[in-house]
Amino acid sequence: MKKIITYGTFDMFHIGHLNLLRNLKNMGDFLIVGVSTDNFNKEKGKRTLIPFKQRAEIVASIKYVDLVIPESSWEQKENDIKKHSVDIFAMGNDWEGKFDHLKKFCDVIYLDRTKNISTTELKSSLKRFLSISQDDLKHAFDVLELLRRDLE
């Protein structure tokens, strides 16, 4: 049985996350996903919108995932690989080279990310959207209503 492990925050779950998990499951028989805890995300300087317990439950519900474990430190990866007899450690290619030290325990691969999608981009878009004033939104809706009337 070929076991694969990956890690991530998985905040604002999107198609890029799903593609990663599907691709990893297609490479082996058993997929383990470490979901970063809220405390670990704070240490990394990340703010999440969704609490750890909910993010872990979302990831666990994905049919490609066989086991979800909490990720609470950078150092735990080596122990997780040994504990679960992992064959492949995999991450997105934005982490290229950062985990090569794990090659002495298993194969390490970096997969291409889904183009034009990332949690960071989604959060930036949401922030921009939420910064639009109510007056500007009302004006935009008024203009759309006038256009709709003209088309009738």
pLDDT digits (tens, 9 = 90+) for 73-126: 999 999 999 999 999 999 988 889 999 999 999 999 999 876 665 555 544 555
Regarding predicted confidence, which is higher, 34 or 125? 34
Domain boundaries, the chain: 3-116, 118-152
Say whether 44 is catalytic.
Answer: yes
d(CA 51, CA 73): 17
Compute the average pLDDT of residues 41-64.
92
pTM: 0.76
Tell me the CATH class for 3-116. alpha beta
Catalytic residue among 2, 42, 44, 138: 44
Please determine, for residue 36, whether its predicted confidence score (pLDDT) is greater than 80.
Answer: yes
The structure tokens listed for 51 are: 């609490």
Residue 54: is its pLDDT beyond 80?
yes
The helix (run of H) or strand (run of E) holding residue 123 is helix 119-130
| DSSP at 32 | E
98 is catalytic: no
